Structure 1
Amino acid sequence: MKFSFSKELEITQMAEGLNRKIVNYCDNLMVCEVHFEKEGVTAAMHSHPHEQCTYVVSGKLKATINDETHILEKGDSMLMAANEPHALTALEESVVVDTFTPMREDFIK
């Protein structure tokens, strides 16, 4: 079992206004907290070989998976299969929790 404490987590800037904290991870699972600091901040369309679930903690975002787009708000989520293209754009300041399986080795290098 591994504990992590928010005040000790490193913040990584992914893009201007887009910041990530790796909350915890093991070989098969990674949980990240992602902050979109203001309206218009975007996690551009991308894909990766990990399955991903994104849960909206606060705010409002435009979410796209492949060619399907929806508005997500607090309590909503999206699930992406491995290699499935997806993107998020903040419609206001927002926080999401991203869960990946297996863990994202590229995030810890």
Structure 2
Amino acid sequence: MYSKKELNLFIDKQGIFLENKGVTLTKIKNYLLTSDLSYQILYAVLTQDKVDTYYFCLTHGTSHSTLRRKIRSINSELSKYGFHIICANNFAIKGDEKKLRNFFSVFL
């Protein structure tokens, strides 16, 4: 993720040392979040009306069953906010428009 000029890990007999030259925790956190499948699912449903399930699985290197499991897991968390993701040939988020807009602004 980073070049050796930005972040370098040294392992020797004295121990392990991480040399940081300008990498922030925010940069690392953003990278980890955007590489997570749950984040990708939420981002897709919040920015698009309907997401093609086949195309999403193909572009993110995941199976349809894994996608469904992740959506079930996400839905268990989203249910307390009053909306959920439906999944078939396409997947989309359903719920009160005002709540979705508020969640979208906080999410991004």
Higher relative contact order (CA 8 A, sep 6+): 1
TM-score by length of 2: 0.31
Give the number of the structure whose residues are more often strand, by fraction.
1
TM-score by length of 1: 0.31
